[in-house]
Amino acid sequence: MAALQGKTAVVTGASSGIGKATARLLADEGSHVFIAGRSIERLKEVARSIEDGGGRATVGAFDLHDYDALQTFVAEAAQQTGRLDIIVNAAGVHHPGTIADGKLADWRAMFETNVIAVLVGSQAAIRIMRETGGTGHVVTISSYAGQGEGHHVYGATKAAVNSICKVLRAELENEPIRAVTIMPGAVATNFGRHHSPEFVSGMLKSVGISTAFQAGDVLADDVLEELRARASAIFASPMDIARAVLYAVTQPHDVSVSEILVGPRKSFPTAA
Ligand SMILES: NC(=O)c1ccc[n+]([C@@H]2O[C@H](COP(=O)([O-])OP(=O)(O)OC[C@H]3O[C@@H](n4cnc5c(N)ncnc54)[C@H](OP(=O)(O)O)[C@@H]3O)[C@@H](O)[C@H]2O)c1
């Protein structure tokens, strides 16, 4: 039998990258996945591919800065299926740049998406897990950058996330709800969408891929797969991270998988 047969999972950031791969894997293992992101078209595509494979997926397109919408989406997952077993907080954003030259709107977007939405989504899920089966996994996708060495303002959001997950683990240690932090290294996704076109195009060109890119663009899956295939020493694949999530959520509730660092074998040359 599939490892997650009959379970319900909410995955944020499921329209792209790590969240998309995680949603697919959890659905392949039998979960009904409730997938959230902003792009309705890309979410529908993910849902279609899950359903074509015999899985179940329900789509919610909204901005995570609308915290009421996030709480409602988590509640609806439980209302529709009678349970909530897993939430994966995968949505995240990185605006590169120095503090001296950075923009308030970018800092706000990072803290609201990477930190506040994780708090709101996790709290909504925990309350429902307590009301229903009492068991569950709250998984948050953090980053190598959250380990405290400092990496733009983004690193500060992920350090905050690591601290929040640690506190949550302690809060929940007398309950069968586990809080898991997954810290990926560089992964071939659309995570670089706010980097400069020169940086992204240069990186693609360095491995022989020539694709037009403007800041904010989302690259097609086949381009990302080609990038990963040609530069696998410095890029993990989204599915590598999804497998770490699956490992964590299939352990018994008395076992705490607290933190997993998972990435490519070589470190990535960072952009300014
Ligand atoms: N890729 C890496 O190298 C890497 C390394 C370490 C950690 N991470 C972390 O991994 C997680 C997933 O990122 P990724 O690499 O998969 O990047 P990605 O391909 O850019 O995916 C990001 C996802 O987050 C969603 N999202 C962003 N802002 C949102 C908002 N305000 N409201 C709703 N959804 C929002 C996006 O939705 P739309 O596309 O629909 O807008 C998309 O589904 C993030 O937390 C990131 O910090 C990534």
CA of 93 to the centre of ligand 1 (A): 5
Q: Average pLDDT, stretch 90-98?
A: 97
Question: Average pLDDT over the chain, rounded to whole?
Answer: 96
pLDDT recorded at residue 149:
86
Contact criterion met (CB below 8 Å) for 87 and 138? yes
Question: How far, in Å, CA of 243 to CA of 215, rounded?
Answer: 30
- Which tens digits make up the pLDDT trace of 26-74? 999 999 999 999 999 999 999 999 999 999 999 999 999 999 999 999 9
Question: How far, in Å, CA of 246 to CA of 244, rounded?
Answer: 5
CA of 96 to the centre of ligand 1 (A): 14
Is residue 154 flagged as an active site residue? yes
Give the homologous superfamily in CATH for domain 8-187+236-262.
NAD(P)-binding Rossmann-like Domain (3.40.50.720)
Two structure tokens written together for 45 = 């595509």
Two structure tokens written together for 219 = 């690259």
**In b/e form, how buried is each residue of 236-255, taking b as 16+ CB within 10 angstroms?**
bbbbbbbebbbebbeeeeee
- Which tens digits make up the pLDDT trace of 234-267? 999 999 999 999 999 999 999 999 999 999 999 8
- Which tens digits make up the pLDDT trace of 205-217? 999 999 989 989 9
pLDDT recorded at residue 150:
85
- CA-nearest residue for atom 8, ligand 1, is 143
- CA-nearest residue for atom 26, ligand 1, is 91
Domain spans in the chain, listed from the N-terminal domain onward: 8-187+236-262, 190-231
